[in-house]
Amino acid sequence: MSYALLGLLSLRSWTGYELTQQVRRSLTHVWPASAANLYREQQRLVRLGWASVSTEAAGPERTRNRYTITPAGRSALQAWLDDNPGPTNLESEAFLRIWFADAGTPDQLARTLRAQATEARATVDHVVELFEQYLAGAGPFPDRAHLNAIVGELIAELFGQLETRCSALAAEVDQWPSTRRKGIDAATRASMERVVAANRATLRT
């Protein structure tokens, strides 16, 4: 998150509140964070010397902090961009519930799958709305539209596939008499074989 904030500060200076809102608007689907954590990260950037902070008036008897990237911060951002990215980690409560669904009922599992499909569709809809703004000439930071297009298309494809598969699996689970199985049955074997067949060539390389 420190580097995410540095990336935003490389565009312009922001108040603490503006930074928090911008992260929630633009980065929530790839790097979510709580408001409390975001404010802590802003202060951490200052301690590291990667950002400076100044106080400005925000109304009668009120002030706010404005953060600006420093030369050291730009160097840190460049070094981060030059390094290899860390592993991608998926955090999904729905996936955890699916994993342990044999402690519950088919109805519970199907509802979890449909909830995940609904959430995935909402994410795709958010990308569509953002792209429509750009196409109408009203998108934020238009000089960075090419980068937003790459990330947005990746997110739309990933979450679109998630919606499709979860919806189909929910319909399949509706027919299950129980979430418990003994060994690998025909349906389970077919599912595993599809994955292996689709990716065997990649594994061999």
Task: Provide the CATH number for the domain around residue 70.
Answer: 1.10.10.10
Residues 144 and 197 in one domain: yes
Residues 104 and 49 in one domain: no
Residues 56 and 121 in one domain: no
Please, which pLDDT band fits residue 157 given cuts at 50, 70 and 90? very high
Residues 104 and 197 in one domain: yes
Q: 94 with 112: CB under 8 angstroms? A: yes
The stretch 94-107 carries a mean pLDDT of: 96
| pLDDT at residue 204 in the model | 58
- What is the spatial distance between Cα 106 and Cα 112, in angstroms, rounded to a whole number? 10
Residues 77 and 111 in one domain: no
DSSP helix/strand/coil, 57: strand
Per the model's pLDDT, the better-predicted residue between 102 and 205 turns out to be 102
Please, which pLDDT band fits residue 203 given cuts at 50, 70 and 90? low
Q: What is the pTM of this model?
A: 0.85
Per the model's pLDDT, the better-predicted residue between 32 and 12 turns out to be 12
Enumerate residues 6+ apart whose C-beta is below 8 A from 108: 97, 101
Residues 182 and 140 in one domain: yes
Mean confidence (pLDDT) of the chain? 93
Dump pLDDT digits (tens) for 42-62: 999 999 999 999 999 888 888
Residues 102 and 71 in one domain: no
- The tally of CA atoms less than 13 A away on the side-chain side of residue 47 is 7
Please, which pLDDT band fits residue 73 given cuts at 50, 70 and 90? very high
Please, which pLDDT band fits residue 181 given cuts at 50, 70 and 90? confident
| pLDDT at residue 6 in the model | 96
